[in-house]
Amino acid sequence: MALELPDGFAAANAAGFAAANAAGSAPNGNANLTHELPIFTIERVQLAFSIAADFAAAEVANNVIILALSNGRILRIDLTRPEDIDDIDLPKKGAHTGIRRMFLDPTASHLIICAANGENYYLHSQSRQVRPLSRLRGVIIESVAWNPSLPTASTREILIGATDGHIYEAFIETSNEFYKKEVKHLKNLHRLPDGPITGLWVDDLKGKTDMRRVVIGTNTRLFHLVGKIGHSHDGSGSVYTKLFESEQPVVHELSRATQNAAPSVVVSPDPPQEEGHRQHELPERAYAWLSSLGVFHGKLLDTPADSNLGAKVFSESRMIQKAQIVSPESGGRRRATTETIDAIALTQWHIVSLIGGRVVTTNRLTGQVVSEHDVLGPGQKAVGFSVDLQKNTFWLFTSEEIFEIVVRDEDRNIWEIMMQQQQFEPALEHAHTQSQKETVAAAYGDHLATKGHWNEAAVVYGRSSKPFEDIALSIIDNNQPDALRKFLQTKLASTSKSAIMQRIMLASWLVEVFMAKLNSLDDTIITQAELSENLNPADSRKLLISIKREYQDFINRYKNDLDQKTVYDVISSHGREEELLYFANAINDYNYELAYWVQRERWNDVLNVLKKQTDPDVFYRYSSVLMTHVPQEMVDILMRHSDLKPRSLIPALLEYNRAFSGGPNSQNQAIRYLNYVVYQLNSKDAAVHNTLVSIYASHPAKDESGLLSYLQAQGDEPRYDPDFALRLCIQHHRTLSCVHIYTSMGQFLQAVDLALSHNEVELAAVIADRPMSNPQLRKRLWLAVARKVISQSNGIKTAIDFLKRCDLLKIEDLIPFFPDFVVIDDFKEEICGALEDYSRNIDNLKKEMDESSQTATNIKVDIAALDHRYAIVEPGEKCYACGLPLLSRQFFVFPCQHSFHSDCLGRKVLEQSGVGKSSKIKDLQLQIHRGLVSGPKRDAVVAELDSLVASACILCSDFAIKRIDEPFITKDDRPEEWAL
């Protein structure tokens, strides 16, 4: 058998089980069309298979429908796969008497079947075998409260209400073992004298697993019980005993109720899980208790989680009288008030009632009837409602048919109802469109304003659609500056980013409001007057701090919406220095802030602002004035920023140096910074180095140690301009520095002359030794030193000892510098030594001449012997090129004993020679072979050819080296011959 799904199944309810409605589903995004459709429609489900018996009971949960037939059969249909139907038979004992009712848990895992003969059965979703519950035999079950944790393997601890008033705790699990019972334990918790337990509900409180709320309904009373539960170990003990024994329930009793109705306790389904919706934000579940007087309903609140919760739940609940549901005053025709409400079900916001053959839906908030549908025909019997708590689907079963109550956009008007009931906060939460939210906000603001709560009203007004000018004037007329500030802030936050002008005007007005408030608080504190009856000056100071913090938060958040010039003008007109500078700092207008402090010569404040800067232009702009007034602190800051360009700071450093001209170099901050740039940052900028040289050289003190240290540290590749440095040093009489610069430039003569002119003989001697690679220049420099030393020396002996430091000077070089009256005895030893050196040099020269003459004679003998050279060729010797006997034709023999046929040698030479040489050889060979030359000329050509071909052995000379890239094995060779 198969179940025929309605055409609109996927569109109306992807997981549901409903027929397509006649109007069709609203297109996505067309809210107007959706609102035009009725909220509730009842659609008949067409069955594609025949039913052999009437429906005795039916339940729906988690997209699973369970149909109990009057003949004892049970049909289990998964609505996601409606073509697969489980057809299960009840045991014969129960099937014979028929099924009275069923209870299905929200996960559709556990089904309790109650037969008319008092037998009870259990069926698990993973099983097709119905198991009798022997321990529950004879218990006429009227209600079941499932475990709130919704287990699927077993029921865990559940509550069962019986017709005789007993409340049981049971633990049921499926078992395949014959001897093992399905009911692991059964505990009789309590008995009420009210008659049948018509409704049971159990839940935990906001995830508190050790707390339980139990709601118990009878014909005349409703009980609310809250408390801690005990702990069982694998189902071996009761968990509800502690709760029922230690806690007293809160009771709501109906004094005039009768037992003629079919009372019950129902709860609303799980709220729709919107994307991003967190569990703790879900609204409270609603409940409804049907009695003979009407429907008592309310919210199952979660707090406070103690015994007072029941009283709060009942106090906030209300009764909808039966007459209001059965025979509403607004109905087109009057209904008999004697009709009874046979069953009820709860949606998220409505009560669905079955009254005779019609289904009436009533809004829970207003108690007004929303819709009325005639469903059952004459003679049709209703089995009852069933609600899928997890999937939010609603069903009505008769003995022969199935109907789905389709709900569309159920909360479309909830916001308006709540607004009319002055429940503004919930109304804002349930308003869907921006227009709805603005409408609620306007009404909420008016409500708060009439009660004098202007501050709260201002915040709400800011989110409303009420005209801006009306709200602003109303707040101003009532002299509520704080409310105006809050209203403007809220309005600014809700104004679109694209509305640039509106945002600028709102933000600018807020600046004015803030300044007025701050000035008012300052005046209050200064005059020691109380701001109001309950506010003293100390409170005013706290409020002042709070408003300043609020202003700062406002500036940080909306600085991009503020016009810079306007804000400066507004704040300046109020004389608020702190707020002015905070705004400048927030928008990174450091130039304004720095200029402000510089103008007031508050250098510490300037430095505090400058320490936070990273823009190099800021440092360049204010370096001159700060180097003049706070040089050391300024240099400390500059040295923290290695990314600055020192060249741009040179004007400030020079200006500072002019004012500092009399102090020691160790305290000169310009020198300190430039040394940092040169030695720490390794600057290569010539301008920086020249500036440092200029400051050193122009200092009035005669000490050159600092300048000399710098010049010596520069080494052989100085970064400064030597010509510029030399002019400065000459101008300021920096002799030692000039000498060093001359030396670094290679101008040793000028360096020595300058040193000697200032009687720096030792320095001149050091410089004279510098050109070690140029002995002539070195000797010349030492001669200049010698002239100075001899002219200043008191004794010739002392001068000569000093000049011995140079090995290039001879006594004859020094004699011209001696005065005419010098006695030769003073340097007789030096003269004798010089003469002995000359004598030794002459002997060495004679010896070298004799050796050269003998070498020339030997060379002549060797040349004469070359004409008589010969080589012995053994019989059978072969050509090293072709391998044939050497004596077969003309050949060449080389001193290395390699021999070749002349033509073989010529061929090899042609192969390995360059283009020019090979062309020459071919040309000579052509002349000889063709007889183009004869006689002495032919001999000359032959001799030239032989000299070209036989110039060197092709195996030992350069020819062999050029063949180094040739392989050992060529394509003409056989590789196997090379195998070892």
C-alpha count within 13 angstroms, C-beta hemisphere, residue 286:
20
DSSP conformation class of 28:
T
pLDDT of 801 above 70: no
> Among residues 297, 214, 219, 225, which one has the least CA distance to residue 253?
219
pLDDT of 276 above 80: no
Residue with tokens 């250098």: 603
What string of DSSP letters covers 909-947? HHHHS-HHHHHHHHHHHHHHHTT---THHHHHHHHHHHH
**CB burial of residue 853 (10 Å; 0-12, 13-18, 19+):** exposed
Q: With helix as H, strand as E and coil as C, how does 245-282 read? A: HHCCCEEEECCCCCCCCCCEEEECCCCCCCCCCCHHHC
Write phi, then psi, for 60 (nearest 5 degrees).
-135, 135
Mean pLDDT of 87-100: 80
- From residue 552, give the alpha-carbon distance in Å to each of 521, 582, 724, 884: 16, 7, 55, 110
Say what the alpha-carbon torsion angle 853, 856, 857, 859 is, to the nearest 10 degrees. 160
Task: Provide the β-strand partners of residue 69.
Answer: 55
b/e for 546-580, b at 16 or more Cβ within 10 A?
ebbeebbebbeebeebbeeeebbebbeebebeebb
pLDDT of 800 above 90: no
Which pLDDT does position 785 carry in this prediction?
A: 65
Q: Which of 425-429, 453-457, 865-869, 871-875 has the lowest mean pLDDT?
A: 865-869
- Winning range, highest mean pLDDT, from 366-375, 478-487, 569-578, 675-684: 366-375
Q: Are strands 166-173 and 183-191 parallel, antiparallel or unpaired?
A: antiparallel
H-state helical runs in 527-640: 537-558, 564-574, 577-586, 590-599, 603-610, 616-629, 631-638
Percent of the chain whose predicted confidence (pLDDT) is above 70: 80
pLDDT of 744 above 60: yes
Residue 705 CB neighbour total at 10 angstroms: 11
Which pLDDT does position 71 carry in this prediction?
A: 86
* Distance in angstroms (rounded) separating the CA atoms of residues 964 and 959: 9
pLDDT of 530 above 60: no
- Of the pLDDT bands very low, low, confident and very high (cuts 50, 70, 90), residue 29 is very low
b/e for 455-484, b at 16 or more Cβ within 10 A?
ebbbbbbbbbebebeebbebbeeeebeebb
**CB burial of residue 204 (10 Å; 0-12, 13-18, 19+):** middle
* Distance in angstroms (rounded) separating the CA atoms of residues 400 and 402: 7
Mean pLDDT of 135-156: 92
Who contacts 690 (Cβ-Cβ below 8 Å, separation ≥6)? 720, 721, 724, 725
Q: Which of 129-133, 342-346, 657-661, 747-751 has the lowest mean pLDDT?
A: 747-751
SS3 869: coil
What string of DSSP letters covers 485-518? HHHHHHHHHHS-TT-HHHHHHHHHHHHHHHHHHH
For residues 793 and 786, is the Cβ–Cβ distance under 8 A? no
Q: Which of 615-624, 729-738, 740-749 has the lowest mean pLDDT?
A: 740-749
* Distance in angstroms (rounded) separating the CA atoms of residues 358 and 137: 36
Q: How far apart are the first and last CA of the chain?
A: 91
Strand order in the sheet with 99-104: 99-104, 110-115, 120-124, 131-132
Q: Are strands 99-104 and 110-115 parallel, antiparallel or unpaired?
A: antiparallel
Q: Which of 172-186, 327-341, 591-605, 932-946 has the lowest mean pLDDT?
A: 327-341
Residue with tokens 């004279």: 768
Q: Which amino acid is at 780?
A: R
Which pLDDT does position 501 carry in this prediction?
A: 92
Mean pLDDT of 103-108: 95
pLDDT of 42 above 60: yes
- Of the pLDDT bands very low, low, confident and very high (cuts 50, 70, 90), residue 787 is low
> Among residues 198, 228, 230, 202, which one has the least CA distance to residue 215?
202
For residues 390 and 410, is the Cβ–Cβ distance under 8 A? no
Structure token digits, residue 589: 């207008």
Mean pLDDT of 790-812: 57
What are the pLDDT digits (tens) for 670-717?
Answer: 888 888 888 888 888 888 888 888 877 777 777 777 777 777 778 777
- From residue 233, give the alpha-carbon distance in Å to each of 156, 171, 888: 11, 12, 120
pLDDT of 5 above 60: no
Task: State the Cα angle at 299 between 295 and 300, rounded to 5°.
Answer: 115
> Could you tell me which residue, 534 or 131, shows the higher pLDDT?
131
* Distance in angstroms (rounded) separating the CA atoms of residues 616 and 677: 16
- State yes or no: cis peptide before 304, omega within 30 of 0: yes
SS3 762: helix
Structure token digits, residue 621: 């702009």
pLDDT of 25 above 70: no
Residue with tokens 């035999």: 137
Query: Length of the chain in residues, anyone?
Result: 980
For residues 262 and 343, is the Cβ–Cβ distance under 8 A? yes
Residue with tokens 């910074």: 673
Which pLDDT does position 826 carry in this prediction?
A: 54
C-alpha count within 13 angstroms, C-beta hemisphere, residue 907:
9
697-705: long-range pairs with CB below 8 Å, 24+: 697/725, 697/728, 697/729, 697/731, 697/732, 697/734, 697/737, 698/657, 698/661, 698/728, 698/732, 699/661, 699/665, 700/661, 700/662, 701/664, 701/665, 703/665, 704/734, 704/735, 704/736, 704/737
**CB burial of residue 871 (10 Å; 0-12, 13-18, 19+):** exposed
For residues 413 and 427, is the Cβ–Cβ distance under 8 A? no
Structure token digits, residue 747: 């101008």
For residues 109 and 103, is the Cβ–Cβ distance under 8 A? no
Distance, CA of 339 to chain centre: 66
Which pLDDT does position 277 carry in this prediction?
A: 44
Which pLDDT does position 819 carry in this prediction?
A: 55
Q: Which helix (H) or strand (E) holds 388?
A: strand 382-388
What are the pLDDT digits (tens) for 810-842?
Answer: 555 555 555 554 555 555 556 666 566 666 777
